[in-house]
Amino acid sequence: MTFLTGKHLDRRMLLRGAGAAIAMPFLDAMRPALAASAKATKAHRLGVVYVPNGIWMKDWLPEKTGADFAFPRIMKPLEKFREDIVVVSGLSNHAAVKAKGGGHAKASGSFLSCAQPKYTAGADVRAGVTFDQIAAQQFAADTRVPSLQLGCEDSRMIGNCDTGSSCAYTNSLSWKNPETPLAVEVNPRSVFERLFGTVDPSLDPATRARRALYKKSILDMTRESTKSLVGALGAQDKRKMDEYLTSIREVETRIAKAETDPEVPLGEKPSGIPFAFVEYVKLMFDLQVVAFQSDISRVSTMMLGREGSVRTYPEIGVPDPHHPLTHHRGHPDFIEKIIKINTFHVELFAYFVERLKATQDGDGTLLDHSTILYGGALSDGNQHSNHNLPLLVAGHAGGQKGGRHVAAKPETPAANLFVDMLNRSGVGVEQFGDSTGRLDLNG
């Protein structure tokens, strides 16, 4: 196998094996020999981590704006990443306010597009292209997987899920075009195969045989090409490759463990999904880290839960279903349980931020080259409010600074933030959805 183009590694090379292909992280050897000291071209990543059913805003939103703000209870797990995040307040999703349909469906169904979803429970769904897919379209020529749509709850795309509104609106975030919602993938094994398996999705005998091969490690299947490559690398690149391949091995091992976990009741989880929610979410985050690190994909969305989610959280002392709690009617016990769930979600997101910050990427880290939106399409879940949305942005792509609470003028369209995130990702747009300008997080 030829690895070199002139005197440097080809950035697009793959380590190939039987039915598998491993993309490469950015290595020093991928810089042209005569420009080894030049800065590497930065590939920006864009992500969205979505939480459902609203957030208890009194314990989410900092009292002060600017740099000198205290972290409220819900946001406390992110305090050590102060300089890596920007809290954003004052933004509204006017499309959801104007739309007809269930409060949850029209919120999530318009969240990333800022376009009114059609009120229907039939197959004639319509919303708008989402801003993550604008980025995915631009990056498609440079990545094997244009975007990842991940979720942590089984979901369906047809039927009535919210007072006459289609399940497509509550159970998905990304829309490729106004008529095409993109279903979330909930099985880590399927995500892993999409990233590292062959591109043929058919279920013919050859495909079934390929899937059987995954009982072996993908690293074993690509052992020979990996050995040939690593032997020709310098010390620093060898270290980077070791860290990268170790990450893949760990993800693969955790998926395999989930598929054979004897503690999981029969039929409780599809193959490959960890029984413990914490391990499940962390595995899905790690899959995104590996996808970003290898530059297989630069865009991802992840739903920690679908809108209207009735997941229970006994691991944090909340055995009650999530959605009914959010209709608390001022009941203090219900509110306390909501705060616990909200804080738990932020703790899980902090893990993702930490992993991005710890992963080298060219002349920085993945967090340096990413812009990641965290939050939801509802503020007050009790009222299904689409105003003053609970949002924050992590990462430093495009020179984004952290350590600030940016309070936009009340009723500013959320689309103004999405215009900023697209531009920081290298996607030059002046207008998106119902935007009225660009919300500059450094301004």
* Structure confidence at residue 243 (pLDDT): 86
In a domain, 225, yes or no: no
| DSSP annotation string for 182-202 | PPPB--HHHHHHHHHB-S---
In a domain, 150, yes or no: yes
pLDDT less than 50: residues of the chain: 1-7, 33-40, 198-203
In a domain, 439, yes or no: no
3-state secondary structure (DSSP) of residue 227: helix
Q: For residue 48, what are the domain limits?
A: 42-207+278-424
Q: What is the CATH number of the domain that holds 314?
A: 3.40.720
- Cα torsion through 55, 59, 64, 67, rounded to 10: -80
In a domain, 300, yes or no: yes
Total domain count, the chain: 1
Nearest by Cα to 135 from 16, 289, 246, 297: 297
Output the six-digit token pair for 65. Answer: 């704006």
In a domain, 251, yes or no: no
Output the six-digit token pair for 295. Answer: 């530059």
Q: Is the alpha carbon torsion for 416, 421, 423, 424 positive or negative?
A: positive
Instruction: Please report which residue ranges of 143-268 form alpha helices under DSSP H.
Output: 167-171, 188-196, 205-213, 218-221, 223-230, 235-260
Q: What is the rounded distance in angstroms from the CA atom of residue 228 to the CA atom of residue 239?
A: 15
Q: What is the rounded distance in angstroms from the CA atom of residue 327 to the CA atom of residue 275?
A: 28
In a domain, 442, yes or no: no
pTM of the model as a whole: 0.91
Q: What is the rounded distance in angstroms from the CA atom of residue 64 to the CA atom of residue 361?
A: 34
* Structure confidence at residue 137 (pLDDT): 97
Output the six-digit token pair for 81. Answer: 């990443």
Q: What is the rounded distance in angstroms from the CA atom of residue 132 to the CA atom of residue 134?
A: 5
In a domain, 266, yes or no: no
Output the six-digit token pair for 24. Answer: 């490469």
Q: What is the rounded distance in angstroms from the CA atom of residue 254 to the CA atom of residue 249?
A: 9
In a domain, 410, yes or no: yes
- In order of 32, 33, 41, 195, 422, the CA distances from 38 in angstroms are 9, 10, 9, 30, 26
- Can you say how many angstroms the Cα of residue 269 is from the centroid of all Cα atoms in its chain? 22
- The CA-to-CA distance between both ends of the chain, in Å, stands at 50
